[in-house]
Amino acid sequence: MKNIFSPIKFLKFNNCYLCHNIKKSVKLAPNLKKIKNFYKINYKNKKHLFKKIKFGNKNIFKKNIIMPSFLKIKKKCIYFFIKWLLNIL
Ligand code: HEC
């Protein structure tokens, strides 16, 4: 059976929900809608965003609060997530 990418499972399984909500910014990291809106304007290419998720990032939304790296997530899954974030969310 073919696996279908589920963004909600992806976010849960990889603990993204520990810091990110979809719409509310009650947690310490920017919510995913905010990230989407930012990258609608500042999008360079998918590799650029891929690297931020894989290797972590800081100082775009928050000063000195770090988005951790996720070295174990499969490349394919991160690209699915980016597609979902930018086009569907
Ligand atoms: C420990 C908290 C934490 C976890 C867990 C976390 N993030 Fe983040 N994330 C952050 C913070 C803080 C930022 C803002 C960083 C910045 O200001 O650049 C961020 C930023 C981002 C961005 C925007 C990239 C940027 O900085 O411009 C994306 C996309 C993102 N996170 C996706 C994810 C995904 C997908 C997961 C799960 C695999 C995840 N995050 C897990 C804290 C977290």
28 or 60, which is more confident?
Answer: 60
CA within 13 Å, CB half, 74: 6
CATH of domain 7-87: 1.10.760.10
Domain boundaries, the chain: 7-87
Residue 86 CA to ligand 1 centre (angstroms): 15
Would the CB of 65 count as within 6 Å of ligand 1?
yes
Residue 27 predicted with pLDDT over 80: no
Q: Sign (positive/negative) of CA torsion 25, 33, 64, 8?
A: positive
Residue 1 CA to ligand 1 centre (angstroms): 31
Residue-wise pLDDT for 31-78, tens only, equals 999 999 999 999 999 999 999 999 999 999 988 899 999 999 999 999
Quote the CA–CA distance of 87 and 85 in Å, as a whole number. 6
Residue nearest to atom 42 of ligand 1 (CA): 67
Reported as a pLDDT band with limits 50, 70 and 90, residue 24 is: confident
pTM listed for this prediction:
0.94
The answer to whether 46 and 79 are in contact (CB under 8 A) is yes
